Structure 1
Amino acid sequence: MRVSRKCVTSVFRCLCSAALGLIAWSAYAQGSRLVIVSWDGAPDWVVDRLLDEGRLPNVARMKAQGAWADRVVMGMPSVTAVGHAVLWTGAWPALNGITGNEVPVLPRKDHTVVETRSGFSSDGLLAEPVWLSALKGGRSVALLSATQSYPPDPYVAAIREMMAADEKAGRDYRALPSKFIALSGFERQLSAPKVYADVRALVDSKRLGREGKELAIRVADDNLLIFFPRGEDGTYKECAIYRVEDDALKFAAYMSYPDIKFSSPIEIRKGADWGLLSFSLMSLTPDMSSFLLYQGDCDAFLGHCDEARLRAYVFAAGGFHDLPIREIYAKGGFGPTLWQGGGGEAEERLLLLVERDFERLSQGFEHAMRFFDADLITHYSPAIDTFGHLVMGVLDPSSPRHNQDLANELWPVYARFYELADRWLGRVLQAAGPTSIVALVSDHGMEGIARRVSVNRILVDAGLAVTADGREISVNSLALSPPWMDIGVVVNDKSWKDGVVDADRRSEVLERAKAALLAAKDPTTGTQLIRRVYDASEIVGGGGDAGCDLYLDFAPGYEPAGGLSDKLVVDADPVLGAGTHGFLPERRSMNAIFYALGPGITKSRNLGVIQGVDVIPSLCPLAGIPTPRDAVGRNLRLREPGEEEW
């Protein structure tokens, strides 16, 4: 009997598919690796539109082959530190302690209502995160980027407790410290991004054996020389970077316009810290009449990792995030932007950097997969959120600053951020392989606004808040919008150090504050600024020692302005407005995303509307990771019907 080649090929494909399925099932039965990727500030309504436009093939793949939510309702307020803390712990802000990007310093009896610390720090996290429950369950962890992972001290202390318990029980404890890797580059910037474009700053040079132009610069503790050699034909098309050491020049990097626009990374030091710095030659005319050289952001990686593995990871990735959106691009540093009359060249230059940023994330993840051997890996990008803050005022159809013509020009740029993020996701899926569970999440949504409201101005005018020097709110205030949460109001009662409101006056102060807030109107339009004032008990996860007493629902087009302003209402950017978040998480524009793909997960399963606290309790059982101790969310049962969870 003759068998056709087509038949043999079909049988082979079926066997391969069955083998892959068996491998995936084996991993599921033993507890799969869990990878969590976070796109900061990715609203579900934007992702839905981009899926409809066919721009996100890897998200579409996760949706078709895995489980996904219509939308995700996160914690209050809808900000980065809060959203991620809810995801990591499966607990609401009142329980996990992260009530904002800034949080009050506790306990109240020892600190005033105006004292703050970072909500991104591990110091403020009161609930157990998934990486700690994973370590307790004997799994290994690599936090390539995660809020509340730095400083690592609380987790290292927990590891030491586990080591002591293992030693006492006669178990081998020596491998425990190597099972925890936590990296963060957000805490220590070594040098800020910068643009060099002034031809007059260049000086003629012959000291390198070639005629050219040079510029001496200092970056952190290092002296560098930028050299543009003149070619034999008298034109300029190259740029070299030299390290200056004891008046000697040591070659560091090379670029050629337009073929080699990025330099290789250069190690930069500042004190005991080090990081990688790259340059980009964005423009160079042959006669040297103009040039544009970009010096990237340089940050030190901190956290918990031995030096050898840290250096290997950082060099594999190529450095930390480099997204000079506000400080350079928006100010015309790459040329006029679209809203400044430019023709798109500035956006092309920005997107080159964004593409490189996602390439760094991909390279870092692929290195971690090869060398870290972790059961739980987290990674994160702020790119979408950062650009959204700049342009969402124009892009959001409901925004008072929405401009359809400008939106038509900016939407492809904004969409390109997502396309590059989707490419990164594809690299993650490929490197993680079919035996891993990969989850894609975001922490909050985004909407456009045109005006900002000084909540403390309302309270000062109502006689509830007082100023210390005309500019800052005093600790003698009865009620105030604290520096750690501009969308809430707290009564300065005597539970706080130096508090002034007695317990029997709390209700009176709260009622006066509510009345004043609801009565406030825009002096230009007459619009009621705050639609509703909620008691803490009406907000899911609201209140608690680190929370507010009242939470505010602003009218569309308005956002709270922190601190104190002389004016009740001030304009955001007159052309762009602003993109913002932080509002009630039930607000449609604030909703986030969730997609999950991997062994044991039902294909194309729509979970409907879920809550942020449901994510980790649903993923952990599939990955063989104990659910965090303080989690209150539901297990959404992502597995195939009839299958047992690990």
Structure 2
Amino acid sequence: MTVYWMVWDAAAHWVVDRLDAQGLLPSVRRLRESGVRAAARPPSPNCQTPPSLATLFTGTGPHEHGVTGFAVPAPEAGPGLSVSGFGPVLRRPAVWETAGAAGFRSTSVHAPWITDTRDDDGGVPGWIDGAVEAYSRRRARPGVHAVGPGRTVLEVAGHALDVDPVAGGVRVRGGRAATVVTDSWVPLALEARDGPDAPAALWLRLATVEGRKVLLHSGVWAPRTVGHDASVLRALRQAPTFSGDGLGPYYRDGRLGRRLVDGGDGSAEEVFLSSVDRVTAGFAGAVDQVLPRHRSDLVVMYLPSTDDVGHDLIGWCDERSGAFRPDVAPALWPHVARCYRRADELLGRVLRRAGPDDTVLLCADHGVAGTPWTVRPAQLLVDAGLSVSGPAGQIDLERSDCYYHPVNNGSVWVRPQAAPGVLQRVAEALAPQRVPGTGRPLVREVRPSADGRRADLLLDPDCLPVAGLAGDGQALHPSVKPGAHVTNGGDDRLHAVFAATGPGLAPGDDLGVIDNTWPAALVLGQLRASRPRATASQP
């Protein structure tokens, strides 16, 4: 028996429900009808991706697993300092570690943390058949570049790319590799600089933006593959070139053309969605390599592209948010559906691979809500006299009674030498602040820690917190990112999708709202109801 665990990043329960009701997700419908379903409550106070995935994979909350955001404050190293939330910081074992200790073997496609797991001798544990992960090994972010009439040279991840116009497109050369780029995404291999097991490559495409040709490229990543099943390892290394995120920042700033919400004609959305499709295709390619070859008890698959459309499109379609745009939502929703349908097709391939004694889970780490406003808590604290700005416009941590932590996880930290009562003053200063046009409190709750050294701000879901001070001295601004998930004060739009089928799971059963610590327990329970495979993977 195998447990197949698929995770769609930011797949909100309300979004999946709407698409399912429209008949657009046949694989989700099949999974829900053959097993159980629920809305899954993400962690609080912060539900950014790292703490939410850590909660999902360990079955514990942030106070136990220790991941509190994309970056985790490190007060022992100094005020305002941090470490990566995707680094080796988990304080609790992930499901695959617990399963491995019980004799169950795992294969993983781009789930974080698993490739950092070590046995007592510092080596790759014997229960990892195969695991690939690239997020911790980014070498360059995506880019958009104007194409001129002559030769140009681009610098990407330390590689010089020669770009020469040719009939119908451009020729791009990087080292010994070259390709002709037109209006479809094509890969270009780069010289490996992280060893033979971590080849680097990127995807390229030409697009016409308001009459001008631009060259688009994906980010550059160096995937790492570890494990003991040579067949699975070879297959993972033959997967399509990894692309970890779409062109969302360039879509937001207009470099793909005017967005529909800004009066565009839909071409910017088409280019953006093509980059998101490229992400999905890369992940699907890795999953397709694993499905026919693995001999594992647990297969974990992580797909990030649903998060891309969550941040850049779904907020405009969220009727409960001030970001809602009824004038363009009908035109934007099909783009959301396009991304989710690609993910649904991949789920369908997993369902077809699974046997009658296997278990298949679909989970998300969190949902998403519309965010028409950005708020700078640091500015609010300066305005209240609780933080002090320095001469360069930054927060002077040594002179401030407290400060909004630059990791932007919603936390306010108290200077050790400050007088008592600082957090009470924070609560009093923030209480009058309101979400524009609503009358709702901007900060729903100021939640002090047990030791009184910090407090977590639970913001209204319409507000996206941003670190640092504003150049104009204003704390509130209209947001260019219409959807987000940072602090979690209980809004159900942040609930994640959950569905599972397998032995002992009643067909069609709606579990209502569960905590997102529960799927880990279900995975372990389904494994323990079976027996570890008797034959070990062979190299």
How far 1:459 sits from its partner (Å)? 2.6
Question: Which amino acid in the other structure matches residue 37 of structure 2?
Answer: W
Alignment check: 8 A CA contact 2:138 2:221 kept: yes
From the superposition, tell whether residues 431 and 356 of structure 1 become closer, same or farther in structure 2 (CA, over 3 Å): farther
Matched, 1:514 2:514: no
Matched, 1:558 2:463: yes
Matched, 1:67 2:29: no
Alignment check: 8 A CA contact 1:137 1:625 kept: no
Aligned-residue Cα RMSD (Å) equals 3.3
Give the 5 Å matches for 1:32-51: 32-51=1-20
Structure 2 spans left out of the alignment, 5+ residues: 531-539
SS of residue in 2 equivalent to 1:138: coil
From the superposition, tell whether residues 291 and 463 of structure 1 become closer, same or farther in structure 2 (CA, over 3 Å): closer
One of 2, 16, 27 as aligned partner of 1:58: 27
Partner Cα distance (1:342, 1:201) in 2: 30
How far 1:139 sits from its partner (Å)? 1.5
Give CA deviations for 1:16-38 in whole Å, capped at 9, x if unaligned. Answer: xxxxxxxxxxxxxxxx3222211
SS of residue in 2 equivalent to 1:559: strand
Question: Which amino acid in the other structure matches residue 112 of structure 2?
Answer: T
Partner Cα distance (2:100, 2:216) in 1: 42
Equivalent residue number for residue 570 of structure 1: 476
One of 106, 115, 118 as aligned partner of 1:156: 118
The number of equivalent residue pairs is 525
One of 362, 370, 382 as aligned partner of 2:304: 382
How far 1:49 sits from its partner (Å)? 0.7
Question: Which amino acid in the other structure matches residue 410 of structure 2?
Answer: I
How far 1:598 sits from its partner (Å)? 2.4
Partner Cα distance (1:239, 1:308) in 2: 39
Equivalent residue number for residue 364 of structure 1: 286
Equivalent residue number for residue 535 of structure 2: none
Normalised TM-score (structure 2): 0.86
SS of residue in 2 equivalent to 1:183: strand
How far 1:93 sits from its partner (Å)? 0.9
How far 1:360 sits from its partner (Å)? 1.9
Partner Cα distance (2:379, 2:527) in 1: 50
Equivalent residue number for residue 12 of structure 1: none
Bigger Rg over Cα? 1
Equivalent residue number for residue 84 of structure 2: 118
Partner Cα distance (1:299, 1:142) in 2: 20
Matched, 1:312 2:234: yes
Alignment check: 8 A CA contact 1:388 1:446 kept: yes
SS of residue in 2 equivalent to 1:187: helix
Normalised TM-score (structure 1): 0.73
One of 442, 445, 448 as aligned partner of 1:530: 442
Alignment check: 8 A CA contact 2:71 2:85 kept: yes
Partner Cα distance (1:548, 1:559) in 2: 24
Alignment check: 8 A CA contact 2:369 2:461 kept: no
Question: Which amino acid in the other structure matches residue 274 of structure 1?
Answer: P
Partner Cα distance (2:349, 2:522) in 1: 24
Matched, 1:478 2:387: no
Give CA deviations for 1:91-134 in whole Å, capped at 9, x if unaligned. Answer: 111111112222122xx5x3334221111222x21111111111
How far 1:182 sits from its partner (Å)? 3.5
Alignment check: 8 A CA contact 1:220 1:268 kept: no
Equivalent residue number for residue 15 of structure 1: none
Equivalent residue number for residue 51 of structure 2: 82
Partner Cα distance (1:544, 1:83) in 2: 22
Identity %: 26
How far 1:392 sits from its partner (Å)? 3.5
Partner Cα distance (1:198, 1:241) in 2: 11
From the superposition, tell whether residues 93 and 217 of structure 1 become closer, same or farther in structure 2 (CA, over 3 Å): closer
How far 1:217 sits from its partner (Å)? 5.2
Equivalent residue number for residue 184 of structure 1: 133
SS of residue in 2 equivalent to 1:489: strand
Give CA deviations for 1:343-380 in whole Å, capped at 9, x if unaligned. Answer: 22333333333333222212211212334432222222
Partner Cα distance (2:431, 2:257) in 1: 44
How far 1:384 sits from its partner (Å)? 1.8
Equivalent residue number for residue 420 of structure 1: 342
Partner Cα distance (1:42, 1:625) in 2: 29
Equivalent residue number for residue 598 of structure 1: 502
One of 396, 410, 416 as aligned partner of 1:487: 410
Alignment check: 8 A CA contact 1:73 1:610 kept: no
Give CA deviations for 1:235-292 in whole Å, capped at 9, x if unaligned. Answer: x3476555555xxxx6x4456x67xx343552443465531223335569xxxx9755
SS of residue in 1 equivalent to 2:7: strand
Give the 5 Å matches for 1:208-287: 219-220=156-157, 222=159, 236-237=167-168, 244-245=175-176, 252-253=178-179, 261-270=184-193, 272=195, 274-282=199-207
Worse-matched range after superposition: 133-142 or 294-303: 294-303
From the superposition, tell whether residues 297 and 431 of structure 1 become closer, same or farther in structure 2 (CA, over 3 Å): farther
Partner Cα distance (2:517, 2:66) in 1: 14
Alignment check: 8 A CA contact 2:247 2:275 kept: no
Partner Cα distance (1:82, 1:135) in 2: 22
